[in-house]
Structure 1
């Protein structure tokens, strides 16, 4: 059973543990009002540490005890219509707009309906994260918690608990991406588009993203390859018609769209798609025996995975057991990737 918190002399800070509370207070005291622009600040630290004490309190429910959030909250929850500029508060839903950094293309209606029903019956405990919109008053941009915000509207709430933080665009993009990845319900294409935005807008390398997001470099590299797919095919991945495994063999194929439609229509597995693409390649260079590509052995596949992990690039090995020969190809899209491969080959 939770202990009754002792009277506090400073800002509210729920005591999940004494040591943790002191560490957070110390971190907050040192942190300047505006976030640092350097990547060394470790933006991938996650939502809980950025939200600070208020975020933790809201998650445990202590900061929102006694508030009516199950559909009866008043639009005037913010005293005098002038919300605080940082910290935990309630904001009228109409004051909030979706941010441009949202990596999701689509939201599942059935899932939102279930969340809305939960909010109606139990209220909304975990707050959303917003930042003030520059040059306006009483307007905020949503950074994290868009599903909760949309579901709260479906549940006809007038106000919603929110953490207000003054964040730079770079931090907002990172946090929006991290939150969605941690919830594991982004499509592969949406995740890749989030990585591409951080690379193009803020100059991140794949190595830096790997450290910040907590994903392997090969995982990020493989996802980024999906962005070369035609829009129709990438949409199939976003809406769940096809998986990453099914479309990956189609990357760079001139008949990508037609093949993707065929895969979706026939419900082919990833391995069957690889075989279909291989048949097409062998047909262009000469007939293959029985028209069926050679099945890769588990050992060859294991070697491909090992090399892809080390290089962060796509590796294909075509081995002919009978002839005792074969070929290996490494796919790269930039000069930087090519130079990295050459450096490893020369060094080793």
Structure 2
């Protein structure tokens, strides 16, 4: 009976299954090196400590997968177990040696992490692009290899077109994948950053963000050429524009002032019943 490394992993890469014919050996930790193709850049220290405590009590139950390299071995699957073994003070770790190509190693590292949801969205996007570039794969070919739909691959790759500052928010988890997917379709980088700030302040859900982007598209802001936008801004009274910004900061929503001949109206946008109630409470609180 073969042992599986993770849900769906053996099915996607059969070469990685540990069969009866595979020999488990004890390898000194100082002869191992991490996988250079590892897409995960950050390991949760608390999780490593918990695993180290388990290893101290029960040992490493599941062997790691390695391949031979110059002066030792390279970890293919099981870097968390390797790191936790170091923390627990182990001298050796059980392992199975496999003969695998660089492409297989990259695919395995990516699939193992994606299947277990260990990567943040930007790490997944960078890993997908690295495999596509290094091995000249199409999105369709990559989708088959990692067991995901082509649209799933495309959605992650689109994140790479975000400004660097927004990518960092996605990496840190301060901007969700859903919000980032909506923002990446906006043409103007300045508007992208403005929308990002609003999302991080808790102003919009993903649905509300999508509605705001649609509203801006209908008005022509955020998607029109910069020159057209500049011309449009010049026509607006700078004092009115300043008042709009002050009201938007206060009410945390889009505000439009329609002004003509010393009179006009102020529009406050809301995107849900809760949002409307929030605005009403603020307005009623000011009038009392």
Residue 52 (structure 1) aligns with: 18
- Classify the secondary structure of the residue corresponding to 2:100: coil
Check if 1:154 corresponds to 2:120: no
Instruction: Give TM-score, length-normalised by structure 1.
Output: 0.57
Q: Distance in 1 between matches of 2:79 and 2:257?
A: 52
Q: CA deviation at 1:218?
A: 0.8
Q: CA deviation at 1:172?
A: 0.4
CA contact (8 A) 1:279 1:292 kept: no
User: RMSD value over aligned CA atoms?
Assistant: 3.1
Instruction: Pick the structure with more helix per residue.
Output: 2
Superposed structure 1 runs of 4+ greater than 6 Å apart:
285-289
Q: Distance in 2 between matches of 1:132 and 1:178?
A: 21
Select the structure of larger CA radius of gyration: 2
Q: CA deviation at 1:264?
A: 1.7
Q: Distance in 2 between matches of 1:238 and 1:130?
A: 28
Q: CA deviation at 1:288?
A: 11
Q: CA deviation at 1:195?
A: 1.4
Task: Choose which of 7, 24, 36 in structure 2 pairs with 1:88.
Answer: 24
Q: Counterparts of 1:54-133 in structure 2 under 5 Å?
A: 87-133=23-69
CA contact (8 A) 1:278 1:293 kept: no
Q: CA deviation at 1:283?
A: 6.0
- Classify the secondary structure of the residue corresponding to 1:166: coil
Residue 194 (structure 1) aligns with: 127
Flag structure 1 segments of 5+ consecutive residues without an equivalent: 1-15, 22-42, 58-86, 296-348
Q: What do residues 271-295 of structure 1 show as CA deviations (whole Å, max 9, x unaligned)?
A: 2322343444426378799464999
User: 1:257–1:109: structure 2 CA closer, same or farther, 3 Å change rule?
Assistant: farther
**Bigger mean CA offset, 265-274 vs 180-189:** 265-274
- Classify the secondary structure of the residue corresponding to 1:52: coil
CA contact (8 A) 2:40 2:118 kept: no
CA contact (8 A) 2:10 2:16 kept: no
Check if 1:185 corresponds to 2:118: yes
CA contact (8 A) 2:26 2:93 kept: yes
Q: Distance in 1 between matches of 2:208 and 2:117?
A: 26
Instruction: Give TM-score, length-normalised by structure 2.
Output: 0.67
CA contact (8 A) 1:99 1:143 kept: yes
Check if 1:143 corresponds to 2:143: no
